[in-house]
Amino acid sequence: MLKTRPKRVLLVAGEASGDLHGGALVQALRRQQPDVTVVGVGGDHLRSSGMEVLADVCTLSAAGLVEIVGSIPRHHRVMELLKAQMDQHRPDVVALVDYPGFNMFVAKEAHKRGIPVFFYIAPQVWAWGKGRAKKMARIIDRLAVIFPFEEGIFNAHGRDLARYVGHPLVDGLQVTRSAQESRAVYGFSDQQPLLVLMPGSRRSEVRLLLPAMLAAAKILRADGWQVALLKAPTIDQVYLEQIHGALPFPVPVVEGDAYNVIAAADAGVIASGTATLEAALLGCPHVILYRFSFLTYLLIKLVIGRRIMGLPNVILGRSFFPELLQRDVTADNIVRGVREMAGNRQGCLQAVQNLRQAMGDSGASERAAEELARLMA
């Protein structure tokens, strides 16, 4: 009897959140198919899941169209590596996790070679324009979407490619200490409010947002607030110090314990992205910040106008968490937003309850892995 070759997956996760959710996806897939081989682009979470990391997630980290242009040489090298993998070790499926700016190009290369494409955590076409969904339907074989309303958007173009699996954050948001214990670990008092700063997982985000965050923190500390900065694993301490331009760095920096610290905080100032949804689900009132290069900002205005873009606000269908965009990202506006949020704890609790109801049941990673396994069969 002929022995069948173990299935092979080429997976690409382009940033910290993709590495986190990709790691949970691979773990779930291995529970279903223990002999599967997974190689690709990722970070510590995917490495821990057993994936062979060919290029680190830090290689791809960029935000905004113009910022991505600045990292084209790095992206080109990774793309050549991925094409070589497709040609020399033909995978049974190419699995792409979020990061659509790069991963759509990977999808095209796989499609050209007749390799099935699985996309987990779909591009936010409801923010960027639904024409993108039609393009995706031509080159993607299975799309595991994380919001219920996305299924109809992606299946409206003649192909039944999207499956709603739920949001992986519902599974992964684990708080292991009480707020009092978490504050004690980092030397924060129970008697003063705690603010968390989250400037993002990409260098371009940190460069554009950190100065205004620190200026706002200085004002709030004078009012009695304690401040902690939660550093993404894709950003090193030296880079934070370079952006600040002086030593010592003005606030304590925490890495690797984000959920416990967020859950212990009274408010947050957070770069737009998955972290805003994490903070909302953990009950942390916060202000959402966006800042891009000027050209990227013009392109965003052209494509989406000035509608709400923060993930928790999109899911709620209303602008509850303050959003500051571009020139509105100032210390004074941040301080105003933090005070507004901190004074509306009851409203935040209600918004959190509504979010949890909208995001469905746990088990997203398992369901996504089932869809991936079906595509490989």
pLDDT band, very low/low/confident/very high, at 195 (cuts 50, 70, 90) = very high
CB 329 within 8 A of CB 291: yes
One of 3.40.50.720, 3.40.50.2000, 3.30.9.10, 3.40.630.30 is the CATH number of 8-167+361-376, namely 3.40.50.2000
**Given this chain, do its domains 8-167+361-376 and 179-359 carry the same CATH topology?**
yes
Is the pLDDT at 67 greater than 60? The verdict is no
Question: Which residue is associated with the tokens 């507004």?
Answer: 340
Model confidence pLDDT, tens digit, residues 264-274: 999 999 999 88
Pick the CATH number of 179-359 from 3.40.50.12780, 3.30.830.10, 3.30.43.10, 3.40.50.2000: 3.40.50.2000
Cα dihedral sign, 14-18-23-28: negative
Pairing relation of β-strands 37-42 and 93-97? unpaired
Q: How far apart are CA 78 and CA 82, in angstroms?
A: 6
- 351-358 mean pLDDT: 88
Residues ≥6 apart with Cβ < 8 Å to 150: 122, 125, 126, 162, 164
Give tens-digit pLDDT for 120-153. 998 776 555 556 777 888 899 999 999 888 888 8
pLDDT tens, residue by residue, 262-299 = 999 999 999 998 899 999 999 999 999 988 766 665 55
Q: In this predicted structure, what is the pLDDT of residue 158?
A: 78
State the average pLDDT for the chain. 88
pLDDT of residue 69: 53
pTM: 0.75
Q: For the chain, which residues make up each domain, given as ranges? A: 8-167+361-376, 179-359
